[in-house]
Amino acid sequence: MSPRTAARLAWGLWILFWACVGVGLYVENLNPADEEPLSDKLALLIAFGSFSTVGAVVISRRPNHAIGWVFSAVGLGAVIGSASGAYAEYSVITEPGSLPAGLAAAWLQSWTWYPTLGLAIIFLPLLFPSGGLPSPRWRPVLWLAVAAIAIESASSFQDS
């Protein structure tokens, strides 16, 4: 992929992140007030917005560096999970049947957190700072992490 294409894709993912934030906040405001304080929501928005922004900056400067793609995926995964959860709550609980695909949104929200957290907790430390594994001996750790995330995500399919 050319650097120009990667930069466009990176900033497109960043725009998608903020569009999902907007949709999520709009739909969340349609739901009855929840117990989560505004300060917690703001902290999460800043944290995952930072992931998305750092990812876009790194990808636009070094498109072959895996860290930028992981940062972008963490930010996007978090906001997709959150927005689909708010959508599902409104569509299934608050106003049943008012929006299409409420159960699909609930299904999406039920498993997106596993890959998002796996990328943030396992892959970022494993790939930082070079964007690659420290040595080939770490390959089994990488594949074990991929398998664990896949199994946990698949098990959530059965629960939903």
Terminal-residue alpha carbon distance, the chain = 37
Tell whether 118 is covered by a domain. Answer: no
Q: Are 69 and 93 in contact (CB under 8 A)?
A: no
Rounded to an integer, what distance in angstroms lies between the CA atom of residue 82 and that of residue 68? 22
Tell whether 38 is covered by a domain. Answer: yes
Tell whether 120 is covered by a domain. Answer: no
Q: Are 94 and 32 in contact (CB under 8 A)?
A: yes
User: Residue 116 has which token pair?
Assistant: 């998002």
Tell whether 73 is covered by a domain. Answer: yes
Tell whether 146 is covered by a domain. Answer: no
Tell whether 150 is covered by a domain. Answer: no
**How much is the pLDDT for 150?**
92
- Per-residue pLDDT tens for 71-119? 999 999 999 999 999 999 999 999 898 889 999 999 999 899 999 999 9
- Per-residue pLDDT tens for 32-64? 877 777 788 899 999 999 999 999 999 999 999
More confident residue, 14 or 1: 14
How many structural domains does the chain have? 1
Segments forming the whole domain that contains residue 18: 3-112
The whole-model pTM stands at 0.89
Tell whether 35 is covered by a domain. Answer: yes
Tell whether 76 is covered by a domain. Answer: yes
- Per-residue pLDDT tens for 101-112? 999 999 999 899
